[in-house]
């Protein structure tokens, strides 16, 4: 039974709230899982080259499924009714039920953002393969933005599946982009930032961005096609520069004086999904007086 399009979108919005709750887990745990894996690999390599035997691995499982969500301050394990997206935060008045430590408002914000994006995608493309594909695109970008802002990491576990999903969606006709344009977009997206990286490093001796940025921009090229790369990178650069200058004036830059670029690429990708890359380009030209 096909529901009214507005009901379909509302259903997708509710699904988005639940996905957003899971994204909070991904944002918090995936970087820690990566760090633990790196530590194990480093210890194994050191042992293989004559170093001490690595410590016994922690017996407690730690992944996206276990352990259950808990308060980071007191360790209180959340009951199911304390884990309902947005509603639990409001019912608890933003505090842990056990120790009354304040819970970050970012948790419901991520849930609401994801719900709104899911609602928009299904309202625009319908509750079918195209709508669901763009929902998945939105969810991965939300996770990447917050992970990069917190840790300056853009995990391959997210960027590479996003890239391949863009190519497969183009091949299946779900994004309205030809497979040729998607492949060219992925290649040009990666190579363009790779060239910028090396030009900056050769000129200054410093690294201006990470390889994760290349992969994320390649993924955006796969989803939007090579024609969208210029407006997307211009938007990300202009907004990133403005935010960086504002943070510098307020002396709120983190140690090293850098701002991760991934969140601005994500913002450009989401705005491109809503407005279209050509609209972004025209708006930027007008704003810059060109």
- How confident is the model over 175-225, as pLDDT tens digits? 999 999 999 999 999 999 999 999 988 988 888 788 999 999 999 999 999
**Residue 60 carries which DSSP code?**
S
Q: What is the pLDDT of residue 170?
A: 97
Q: Which two tokens stand for residue 267?
A: 């913002």
What is the pLDDT confidence band of residue 1, given thresholds at 50, 70 and 90? very low
Rounded Cα distance, 171 and 215, in Å: 20
User: Span 130-145, mean pLDDT?
Assistant: 97
Rounded Cα distance, 275 and 271, in Å: 6
Q: For the chain, where are the alpha helices, taking DSSP H only?
A: 5-48, 87-91, 106-125, 129-151, 156-172, 179-204, 211-224, 229-249, 262-275, 277-288
User: Span 64-86, mean pLDDT?
Assistant: 90
Alpha-carbon torsion 9, 11, 13, 19, what sign? negative
Q: Which two tokens stand for residue 48?
A: 């293989």
Overall pTM surpassing 0.85 (yes/no): yes
Rounded Cα distance, 219 and 245, in Å: 27
**Residue 81 carries which DSSP code?**
G
Instruction: Provide the 10 A C-beta neighbour count for residue 253.
Output: 14
Contacts (Cβ under 8 Å, ≥6 apart) of 129: 172, 174
Provide the 3-class DSSP secondary structure of residue 64: coil
Rounded to 5°, angle at Cα 109 from 156 and 69 = 70
pLDDT in tens, 148-179: 999 999 999 999 999 999 999 999 999 999 99
- Residue 159 contacts residue 212 (beta carbons within 8 Å): yes
In the predicted model, is pLDDT for residue 60 greater than 80?
no
Rounded Cα distance, 176 and 179, in Å: 9
What is the pLDDT confidence band of residue 286, given thresholds at 50, 70 and 90? low
- Of 278, 273, 140, 276, the closest CA to residue 212 belongs to 140
User: Span 94-100, mean pLDDT?
Assistant: 92
- Of 156, 107, 170, 117, the closest CA to residue 139 belongs to 117
Q: Which residue would you say has higher pLDDT here, 71 or 143?
A: 143
Averaged pLDDT score across all residues of the chain: 89
What is the pLDDT confidence band of residue 121, given thresholds at 50, 70 and 90? very high
CA atoms within 13 A on the CB side of 61: 6
φ, ψ dihedrals at 70, nearest 5°: -150, 165
Provide the 3-class DSSP secondary structure of residue 27: helix
């Amino acid at each position: 039974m096909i529901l009214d399009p507005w009901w379909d979108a509302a259903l997708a919005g509710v699904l988005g709230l639940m996905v957003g709750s899971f994204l909070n887990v991904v944002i918090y745990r995936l970087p820690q899982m990566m760090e633990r894996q790196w530590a194990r690999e480093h210890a194994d390599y050191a042992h293989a080259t004559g170093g001490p035997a690595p410590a016994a691995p922690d017996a407690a499982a730690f992944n996206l499924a276990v352990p259950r969500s808990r308060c980071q301050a007191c360790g209180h394990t959340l009951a199911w009714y304390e884990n309902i997206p947005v509603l639990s935060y409001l019912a608890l008045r933003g505090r842990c039920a056990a120790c009354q430590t304040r819970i970050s408002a970012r948790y419901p914000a991520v849930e609401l953002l994801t719900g709104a994006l899911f609602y928009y995608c299904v309202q625009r493309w319908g509750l079918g393969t195209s709508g669901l594909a763009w929902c998945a695109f939105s969810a991965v970008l939300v996770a990447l933005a917050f992970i990069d802002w917190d840790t300056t990491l853009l995990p391959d576990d997210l960027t590479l599946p996003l890239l391949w999903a863009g190519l497969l969606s183009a091949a299946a006709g779900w994004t309205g982009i030809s497979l040729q344009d998607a492949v060219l977009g992925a290649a040009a997206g990666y190579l363009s930032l790779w060239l910028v990286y090396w030009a900056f490093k050769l000129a200054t001796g410093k690294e201006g961005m990470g390889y994760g940025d290349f992969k994320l921009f390649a993924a955006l090229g796969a989803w939007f096609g090579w024609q969208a790369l210029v407006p997307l990178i211009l938007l990300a650069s202009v907004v990133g520069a403005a935010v960086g200058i504002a943070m510098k004036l307020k002396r709120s830059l983190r140690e090293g004086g850098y701002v991760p670029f991934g969140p601005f690429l994500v913002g450009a990708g989401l705005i491109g999904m809503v407005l279209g890359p050509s609209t972004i380009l025209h708006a930027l030209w007008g704003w810059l007086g060109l």
